[in-house]
Structure 1
């Protein structure tokens, strides 16, 4: 894991160059369209055939310890040497924890080495400049690290990097991966060309906000209501069923909510993964690791909990 530890020693210039490199990789992948034999990228939308192996990691929030443990457990270098193995992070890499910059640089380093099968989705904490909120402390962390140069790095380099991150990933016939939740779609025409609509969410403020901020709730008398977060909405099971039916998928995998590593909502059709422990000592951290054979043999979506692993081996 020494290569991850080097993120603690990055200078201002090394950090800037790495963020710019990954932004270029994202832009090139979007321009080319096809990433690999099983994947394609179009702006905010990623799409894959079912990979040979899949690892999904939830919110990290500057928790370098949990990141290091998970990377150790999956032996990430050997795992990512095969392009049909996919590693996806669900967003919220910064804020709350002690090592936001180091987590972000570590992930960018992995992306630099394995650009075609390691992917970072965007969390609401990577969109503060679009949807401000009170708990954003990443910029102050940058000031502690780089002093007066921090604002320039953030404005000129990190914001374009955040804007280059995708906001949704579809794995054909299996699942939709997002950070927050599912938008409330009332236009029946939306799903006739949904992949195109999802490729450019930066021009659709409401759609992007709901993907980054929405949460599932067990409503029985409504489809949605305003969120207590002040941004986004709470969505009910009918919204989940609508998205799954129209995209021919079985499961929503998302992060955004601290929990005991994982939780289910909506008749086990929504799986929340949370992978940050240090900033949330009352909760646990976990990740998903599952093979193509295991995905294809799933009878019920609840069975996927067999493939959720606790970082502290508590599950």
Structure 2
């Protein structure tokens, strides 16, 4: 069912071509997206078939390529695991395109929060400066930050596939612990919400301090315990560059999905999406970077 919006279809067409929206249009779009997303749960309950996507990081041509590979919305349903902004040349167009698609097709695209959907992080890694350069003020950045603070924290597909940007937390044992979190805020410096966005799998057993300075590293025993307690088949997450596009950890228990090919326009990696037909039937599709257009550097 089509959501009541302003010219959201026109916005989608413009953003797909990397054309800038007016500040007033951004305000209206962010307001409508915030209204829709804020009504969704901390833990989204989703069903198959669905396509899981990892980090995008402002690489708009590659996001357009991703939709070409995975199928256009609404014919395909997508779950994005966060990190839409920073690093790439077109964070604002990338993020607004995803919001516009959410407003137009609220039941066909779902957006989780990544560690870069943060007021503090975006002031360091490029999004803040990009908006200032393109709009001449930080007002548009503020509108986007308001939407960051309502994004869901995790998802559960068919009650069997747990999806999150980073990983696990020592203070989260069952899904009700995620449901109880207060997510309508900027990302704290520590705590369960931060762990979900920042943590990484590691071969060493147990919990360890993360070299990132936030979250934890978690071992195979931690994953085994979480999977048994919550009766899940595997965990899908993003957050870490994988040169091969995707990587399994601890056998087939945790998969990292990376969807930004040639990350930062220099890493030479391929990207992937994980197409899930059921919790026992899924496959990764690999894709390369789209051709870069000079006008995207503006």
In the alignment, the residues of structure 1 paired with residue 73 and residue 122 of structure 2 have an alpha-carbon distance, to the nearest angstrom, of 36
Which of these residues, 114, 137, 140, is aligned with residue 129 of structure 2? Answer: 140
Matched, 1:63 2:59: yes
User: How much does 1:248 deviate?
Assistant: 1.1
- TM-score normalised over the length of structure 1: 0.79
Secondary structure in 2 matching 1:164:
coil
Post-superposition offset of 1:60: 0.3
Q: Deviations over 1:113-165 (max 9, x none)?
A: 11023101000000244xx4884211000001111x32x3323x222200110
Are the structure 2 counterparts of residues 78 and 312 from structure 1 closer, same or farther at C-alpha, using a change threshold of 3 Å? same
Please tell me the root mean square deviation across aligned C-alpha atoms, in Å: 2.3
Instruction: Measure, in 2, the Cα distance between the counterparts of 1:196 and 1:46.
Output: 10
Distance 2:275 2:15 in 1: 21
- How many angstroms apart in 1 are the aligned matches of 2:215 and 2:74? 39
Residue 82 of structure 2: aligned partner: 91
8 A contact 2:207–2:217 mirrored in 1: yes
What is the aligned length?
272
Q: 1:291 is matched with which residue?
A: 277
In the alignment, the residues of structure 1 paired with residue 103 and residue 95 of structure 2 have an alpha-carbon distance, to the nearest angstrom, of 12
Residue of structure 2 aligned with 1:223, choices 194, 198, 206: 206
1:72 to partner: Cα distance: 1.3
Q: In the alignment, is the contact (CA less than 8 A) between 1:66 and 1:285 conserved in 2?
A: no
Q: Which residue of 1 is the match for residue 116 of structure 2?
A: 125
Match of 2:222 among 239, 243, 246: 239
Residue segments in structure 2 that go unaligned for 5+ positions in a row: 1-11, 290-298
Of 265, 268, 272, 2:249 maps to 265
Hey, what's the Cα distance between the residues in 1 that align with 2:184 and 2:26? 25
Q: Which has a greater percent of helix? A: 1
Residues 74/234 of structure 1: CA separation in 2 closer, same or farther (3 Å cut): same
Structure 1: state its 5+ residue gaps: 31-40, 81-85, 299-303
Q: Which range is displaced more, 275-284 or 230-239?
A: 275-284
Contact map agreement 1:95 1:125 (CA 8 A) in 2: yes
Aligned to 2:285: 309
CA gap 1:68/1:226 in 2 versus in 1, 3 angstroms:
same
1:196 to 179, 187, 194: 179
CA contact (8 A) 1:56 1:89 kept: yes
Deviation at 1:201, TM superposition (A): 4.3
| TM value normalised by structure 2 | 0.84
Tell me which residue corresponds to 1:275: 259
Shift of 1:239: 1.5
Instruction: Show CA shifts across 1:198-254 (max 9, x none).
Output: 5x34588500110010000011xx301111111111111121112211221111100
Offset of residue 195 of structure 1: 5.2
Question: Counterpart of 2:214 in 1: which secondary structure?
Answer: coil
Corresponding residue SS for 1:112: helix
Cα distance in structure 2, aligned partners of 1:185 and 1:12: 41
Is the CA contact 1:58–1:90 (under 8 Å) kept in the aligned structure 2? Answer: yes
